[in-house]
Chain A
Amino acid sequence: MKRPPLSVLLPYLWLAVFFALPFVLVAKLSLSHAALAVPPYAPKLDLSHGLAGVADFLRGLDFATYRRLTQDRLYLVAYLSSLGFAGLSTAILLAIGYPMAYGIARCGPRLRPALVMAVILPFWTSFLIRIYAWIAILKPAGLLNLALAALHLPAVTLLDTNAGVVLGLVYAYLPFMVLPLYAVLEKQDESLIEAAQDLGLTPRQAFWRVTFPLSWPGVAAGSLLCFIPMVGEFVVPDLMGGSKTLMLGRTVWTEFFADRDWPAASAVAIVMLVTLVAPIVLAQRRRMALMP
């Protein structure tokens, strides 16, 4: 193993200080207590007393915050419902995104880049604005209900409901699902399908026995790209969900900003990181190469 190249030093240091080190601080804070102080937690590391200060600091750390997380049902509900929202939305995204990616991959070489561009473009426009656009459509006297009323259909309530959250998640993450699927489907060798059909498979059988299994890396990459950020999503549940919609991202935000309980926010973040993000990232590391 050789010495690291010079060019890596600067980005390495940058990421170590601004990305890796903060996680150590989150872990440390999750073992502290909330306190009426600035910043609002205790104990604080006091190096002016030398080793005695470090020892005092270490004695002050414990797992009380984590015990609190297990005792308060709110956190468990938020954890499970985040998994539920993200899982359901990922399934819907696959159901919508796969036919889209497949359809684009079957188009001619001139049309394909334009269609891919059309899928990417909304991703470049502000996430917040795209969610805001839905509020005008879904609110009780919004455009959707006006359209339904014009057709003499009953009004629907989607804003501030769990269904609204799923709709928002699916809408916001659709490009992240279509692109990895397209990347895999576009490269697929057409002659494999022809061979399968020559061997007597119907087009439908050929799809399920050849195309779909071969596209598995894209399915995994797309699901990964959507599932993890959706678990921690804040904007969608906050703006489109009701006051009862509990998701982990919103829990961290509320603990931090509204309750000023920094240790609890940190502990929720650590639990999310250790039980969801880390295992999936490690299991999928090889697939990361497929990311758009």
Chain B
Amino acid sequence: MRRGPSPFGIAAVTGGLAFLYAPIVLLVVYSFNSSQLVTVWGGLSLRWYRALAQDSQMLDAVGVTLRVGLISASLATSLGLLAAIALVRAGRFRGRTLFSGMVYAPLVMPEVILGLSSLLLFVSLKVPRGFWTVTVSHATVTLCYATVVIQARLAGFDRSLDEAAQDLGLTPARAFLAVTLPNIAPAVAAAWMLAFTLSLDDLVIASFTSGPGATTLPMRLYSQVRLGVNPEINAVSTLLIGVVAAGVVAAYLVQQRRRGPDGARVA
């Protein structure tokens, strides 16, 4: 029997959530403000959304960011799936310690170090910096997050189902595609979403590895934020928050429904 939360616990949770959400709510509310001054309420208006629709630099940046995110998340999820399979199913193999080290290290590595080191690689290889260098760097960092998410689900998956399929004559690869993959699909989708969001969000690594013509949205936002608060940033932020929140809540509902009878939870 679980004890309910104490009054102190309820206060801590409510207070903590208020702290987390208050700035975001204010940001969204003030994106609909008609006043030029960010902190003075001048009535409801879509003025800043109209301004945004005409800001071609900002829209270009959105396009670059989405393309970087789509490609890098797909790369990261594919590689992360392979890495998770190796980590969960291969047991001990030569080089495993180094491999798992390389998978986990970027999770806690300060971003400036990741950005600087990727940049030096591209400079040494004499690769011109631009769209593809950002995409590859994002794929490298998010690959680690994708691996962790898929690995958690794969470790909880009953392997005997896969073995039964192989006993019934499927090759290991086909058994994986027919039995295991559909079962871990929610985690693969969650991994892709996480990789995509992280790529969408990244300022530091993109600033190091990007070149002319590949300015991402966070880079554009950062240069504007440095100049001061501006209602148009509120508008673009609100759109971004809306898109991501809708995606995350949808993914969460799908996972809740697919939750197995054993209560196995997806990371």
Annotate B58-97 by CB proximity to A: 1 below 8 A, 0 otherwise. Answer: 0000000000000000000001101101100111111110
Cβ of B257 under 8 Å from chain A:
no
Residues of B contacting A: mostly: helix
Query: A118, B38: Cβ atoms under 8 Å?
Result: no
**Min C-beta distance of A207 to chain B, whole Å:** 10
Query: B140, A18: Cβ atoms under 8 Å?
Result: yes
Query: A128, B203: Cβ atoms under 8 Å?
Result: yes
Query: B3, A106: Cβ atoms under 8 Å?
Result: yes
In chain B, positions 212-267 with a C-beta closer than 8 Å to chain A are 218, 221-222, 225-226, 229, 233-234, 237, 240-241, 244-245, 248-249, 252, 256, 267
Query: B95, A125: Cβ atoms under 8 Å?
Result: no
**Given A136-B27, A235-B204, A253-B12 contact (CB < 8 Å):** no
**Given A12-B99, A19-B140, A225-B108, A126-B218 contact (CB < 8 Å):** yes
7 pairs of A and B residues whose beta carbons are closest in the complex: A232-B110, A103-B9, A99-B12, A22-B117, A8-B86, A133-B23, A11-B83
Query: A133, B27: Cβ atoms under 8 Å?
Result: yes
Cβ of A174 under 8 Å from chain B:
yes
**Given A11-B83, A19-B102, A135-B229, A2-B12 contact (CB < 8 Å):** no
Q: What is the total of A-B residue contacts with beta carbons within 8 Å?
A: 273
| B183 partner residues in chain A, CB cutoff 8 A | none
| A107 partner residues in chain B, CB cutoff 8 A | 4-5, 13
Cβ 8 A contact of B9, one of A23, A99, A120, A193:
A99
| A280 partner residues in chain B, CB cutoff 8 A | 108
Q: Closest A-chain residue to B93, C-beta based?
A: A4
Q: Closest B-chain residue to A39, C-beta based?
A: B123
Q: How many residues of A contact B (CB 8 A)?
A: 96
Cβ 8 A contact of B92, one of A2, A178, A193:
A2
Cβ of A29 under 8 Å from chain B:
yes
In chain A, positions 56-112 with a C-beta closer than 8 Å to chain B are 96-97, 99-100, 102-104, 106-109
Q: A14-B143, A130-B23 are in contact. List 20 more A-B contacts (CB 8 A).
A: A8-B90, A11-B80, A16-B102, A18-B137, A97-B16, A115-B13, A118-B20, A120-B248, A133-B237, A171-B23, A175-B20, A190-B2, A193-B3, A228-B110, A234-B111, A249-B204, A266-B120, A277-B108, A277-B109, A281-B105
| B10 partner residues in chain A, CB cutoff 8 A | 103
| A42 partner residues in chain B, CB cutoff 8 A | none
Query: A137, B12: Cβ atoms under 8 Å?
Result: no
Query: B113, A273: Cβ atoms under 8 Å?
Result: yes
Annotate A259-274 by CB proximity to B: 1 below 8 A, 0 otherwise. Answer: 0001001100100110
A14 CA / B9 CA spacing, docked (Å): 45
Cβ 8 A contact of B86, one of A5, A224, A272:
A5
Cβ 8 A contact of B16, one of A1, A120, A174:
A174
| B121 partner residues in chain A, CB cutoff 8 A | 17-18, 21-22, 25
| B137 partner residues in chain A, CB cutoff 8 A | 18
Q: Closest A-chain residue to B155, C-beta based?
A: A289
Q: Closest B-chain residue to A269, C-beta based?
A: B113
Q: Which of A139-147, A150-158, A212-220 contacts B (4 or more CB under 8 A)?
A: A139-147
Query: A2, B245: Cβ atoms under 8 Å?
Result: no
| B17 partner residues in chain A, CB cutoff 8 A | 115, 118-119
Cβ of A279 under 8 Å from chain B:
no
**Min C-beta distance of A163 to chain B, whole Å:** 15
A231 CA / B111 CA spacing, docked (Å): 10
Cβ 8 A contact of A253, one of B112, B117, B136, B240:
B112
Cβ 8 A contact of A256, one of B82, B116, B256:
B116
Query: A125, B24: Cβ atoms under 8 Å?
Result: yes
Query: B92, A133: Cβ atoms under 8 Å?
Result: no
Cβ 8 A contact of B117, one of A25, A103, A128, A229:
A25
